[in-house]
Amino acid sequence: MTDPSPKGPSAALKRYGPFLGVAVVVIVAIVVFGGGGDDKTDAPADDSQQAREDLPLTFQEAEADGIEGIDWGAACDTDKGRIAIPIHNAAPCVEPPKASDKGSGLATAPGVTPDSIKVIVYEGVPDPLQQVIVGAAGADTSPADTSGATVDYLRLLEDTYETYGRTLDIEVVTATGGAADSTAALADARTIIDKKPFAVIGGPAQTPVYWQELTDAKILCIGGCSLAETWDNVDSAAPYLWPSAIAPEQADQHLLELVGKQLVGKPAKYAGDTALQKKERVFGWIQAETETGEYKARNDEFDRLLEKDYGGKVATRSTYLFDLAAAQETATSVVTRMKDAGVTTVLLSVDPLIPATITREATKQGYFPEWVIGPSVLADTTIFGRTFDQEQWAHAFGISLPAARADNDLSDAFGLYEWYYGKKAPVNTVDVILPGPAQLMLGIHLAGANLTPTSFEQGLFRYPPNAGGKTYTHVSWGDTLWDRPDHNSSDDAGVIWWDPAATGEDEPGNPGIGMITYVDGGTRYLPGEWPTDPLPLFEKEGAVTLYTTVPPGEALPDYPAWPDSPAAKG
């Protein structure tokens, strides 16, 4: 039994949590708050061995081994070696199973029968704060519409990916409390456990007791089940917890490379104060914190590597607990601390609301440093950047964990829905709805007929990643890229700066002035690949705020409608 007491974000942040859970619609958010997790027992050794033997041959494996003569089926685009659906990270083609292999004639795991796979879709409850803030920004906030779109994507991928003769038995479970209500989350998890599913998509992401309870019960918890949990938390729950965002430590690595390779030992030339521009950079860090201080180990490792690998140092840190009522007090404290320490360059790991107060306070105190956006919650968006003090934010730049923005009609999620269903997506939040269903169905596709949590993990761990683009991220799992097994999805990051004079639409489509701008058209870097040559920050040539046409090399094939799909039937 899992302790239902809160272990993650502070109580103040939890009041804000329901907004974060839907505000991520603005752009995929990376969160640095983590909760605890209990150790899990892996599947038995014979299950693991059987899963390895039963994994289906992929197109890429056959090509690498020189295996020829396989009929990959009509669903395979043999030019790409992937299923012929219009998304960049489509599943690789697998050798079609024999009729005798489909379903294996076995109930291979809880929630899996020879004919079906039980999947729960979690439906949240409306939140007044969410409705006022996010709805006013133009984002769809109906939990029922969100869960309905999730089911639509599951059915789409069930039809296009290999399920080995099984169909999805999908049930929607409605929450009994908000995203931060640990008591309701625990009750909801136990309700779901009683239904004996193989996997759950979504959950009350602001309290870890939900995913802890489910993974204790050996149920896969995918996508919005949790925020971007730390590596240790995810490892303790393997192979059951699958966050759909980059891990906090991975985001730290990207910030470390940007700071170490581009900024350390150089003048703070992007500061708003000419006196600071002439000084060698002195780093400070403003960081949203948790009551239990879970950042300390990560902070210590960042500081150690910054000094060891690049000769840099964080001169001072200032942390705060999220509380809008205390925002002015927080702002006064953190700005005074940075200014008194002679900081020229402020690193930010923050929420999207308090920076408005912090930047106004900095102007009030006559303090105009560089602002470096690190792993943050929506502070790297246009919609919130417009609320910050523009005199300060004109000197903001940093890492971009989401890919460069593009018009909705260029989005994988929007395009895929219309291609299959023959109509527009029912909500404008589908960019953050698709990853959960896509990850579940990809794992099933690659696991083979002997579907278990172990074979699901082994399937995803051998997924052949596409090269990342400018408008989509590099996706992989396993131990080929990072120095430990990776259960998180995206891997790369780009570089952004704030252009206070740029005009255009924000993420939900509101016109205005001031835009997040992507360096070099949104070029992204994998760990270890960040350049040492100066990046063209604050240079408009080659930069982009929003793609209205597909970047060169990123266009998808114009696949015909899927046979028997709603679009094909007209």
What domains appear along the chain, each with residue ranges and CATH number? 11-42+102-245+408-449 (3.40.50.2300), 250-400+493-522 (3.40.50.2300)
Tens digits of pLDDT across the chain (570 residues): 333 333 333 333 333 333 333 343 333 332 332 223 333 333 333 344 444 457 999 999 999 999 999 999 999 999 999 999 999 999 999 999 877 666 655 778 999 999 999 999 999 987 655 555 555 555 666 889 999 999 999 999 999 999 999 999 999 999 999 887 899 999 999 999 999 999 999 998 778 899 999 999 999 999 888 776 788 888 899 999 998 778 889 999 999 999 999 999 999 999 999 999 999 999 999 998 765 456 778 889 999 999 999 999 999 999 888 888 889 999 999 999 999 999 999 999 998 889 999 999 999 999 999 999 999 878 899 989 999 999 999 999 999 998 999 988 888 999 999 999 999 999 888 888 999 999 999 999 999 999 999 999 999 999 998 888 999 999 999 988 998 899 998 899 999 999 999 999 888 778 999 999 999 999 999 999 999 999 999 999 999 999 999 999 899 889 999 999 999 998
Confidence at residue 534, expressed as pLDDT on a 0 to 100 scale: 96
Contacts 24+ apart (CB under 8 A), 558-564: 558/86, 559/77, 559/84, 559/85, 559/86, 559/419, 561/419, 561/420, 561/422, 562/85, 562/159, 562/160, 562/419, 562/420, 563/74, 564/159
CA distance 452 to 213: 19
pTM of the complete model: 0.86
What tokens were used for 564? 């028997």
Give the DSSP per-residue string, 287-305.
EE--TT-TTHHHHHHHHHH
CA 527 to each of CA 251, 258, 423: distance values in angstroms, whole numbers, following the listed order: 10, 10, 39
Query: 100: which residues sit within 8 A by CB, 6+ positions away?
Result: none
CA distance 288 to 168: 40
CA distance 307 to 264: 10
Confidence at residue 339, expressed as pLDDT on a 0 to 100 scale: 97
Q: Three-class SS of residue 539? A: coil
Confidence at residue 331, expressed as pLDDT on a 0 to 100 scale: 96
CA distance 517 to 120: 39
Confidence at residue 325, expressed as pLDDT on a 0 to 100 scale: 86
Confidence at residue 239, expressed as pLDDT on a 0 to 100 scale: 96
Give the per-residue SS3 of 323-374. Answer: CHHHHHHHHHHHHHHHHHCCCCEEEEECCCCHHHHHHHHHHHCCCCCEEEEC
